Amino acid sequence: MARGPRYCVPFRRRREGKTDYKARKALVLSGKPRLVARGSLKNMIVQIIVAKPCGDEVIVSAHSKELTRDYRWKAPRGNIPASYLTGLLCGLKAKTKGVEEAILDIGLCSSAKNVVFAALKGVLDAGVNVPYSEERLPNEGRIKGEHIAKYAEILAPNPEEYQTRFSKYLKQKLPPEEFPKHFAKVKKGITASLSGGKKA
């Protein structure tokens, strides 16, 4: 592995592809809380983190599983609409904790990963100030899941393909054509629950 007498072995997390220390240093020196958004195929987690001498401290955290557990979300939790709602949930929680601004930390994720920027859009809509580029944000139609509803309408004449593609939705008794309405209902429930109202 060594390449000469002056070769320095990178830090373990850099070798494992987990941390970009140069980018992390810039984020920490900004003095602002970090908005950390990480996604997998099945879930999304969004956190507000503050770097301290003893280590990172998580101020606020939201997980897409909360959408199912607390807000009756019936769709998959790893897509763009779920990521947006998770970001909205985190942003509203952050506001109740007095967090007014943050800086986005995407880590080593690709800057083309839409679920990360969908979560950012949710945090922005909650009222937390985060620097961003407008062109990075998914459009409103994709955030609301209108593309899912349109695709379902296209596949409707082919029952076999329709059942295969939307089995998870149908299992939860959620017609994919009605996805935007379901999204709006869950979003309203999240907003109401963190504004002194009851969960929908």
Tens of pLDDT, residue by residue over 109-163, are 665 568 999 999 999 999 999 999 899 899 999 999 999 999 999 999 999 999 9
Q: Tokens for 145, please give them.
A: 């899941």
Alpha helices in the chain (DSSP H): 12-15, 21-29, 65-71, 80-96, 114-125, 140-144, 146-155, 159-165, 167-171, 179-193
pLDDT at 197: 40
Task: Give pLDDT, residue 96.
Answer: 95
Alpha-carbon distance 171 to 168, whole Å? 5
Residue 31, sorted as left (phi over 0), alpha (psi -120 to 50) or beta, turns out to be: left
Q: Where are the alpha helices (DSSP H) in 30-79?
A: 65-71
> Where along the chain do its domains lie?
19-193
pLDDT at position 200? 38
The answer to whether the CB of 199 falls within 8 A of the CB of 70 is yes
What confidence score (pLDDT) does residue 87 get?
A: 98
Residues of the chain with pLDDT under 70: 1-3, 14-19, 21-22, 108-113, 196-200
pLDDT of residue 14: 65
Give the tokens for residue 147.
């593309």
User: In angstroms, rounded to a whole number, what is the distance separating the alpha carbons of residues 39 and 108?
Assistant: 12
Q: Are the C-beta atoms of 80 and 143 separated by less than 8 Å?
A: yes
CB 60 within 8 A of CB 90: yes
Provide the pLDDT for residue 114. 86
**Is the domain covering 19-193 a CATH 3.30.1280.10 domain?**
no
Tell the residue number behind the tokens 């922005």, with chain if given: 124
State the Cα–Cα distance between residues 167 and 162, nearest whole angstrom. Answer: 8
Distance CA 22, CA 92 (A): 30
Instruction: Determine the pLDDT at residue 185.
Output: 97
Q: Provide the whole-model pTM.
A: 0.86
What is the structure's pLDDT at 10?
Answer: 75
Burial 88-102 (b: 16+ CB within 10 A, else e): bbbbbbbbeeebeeb
Residue with tokens 């100030």: 129
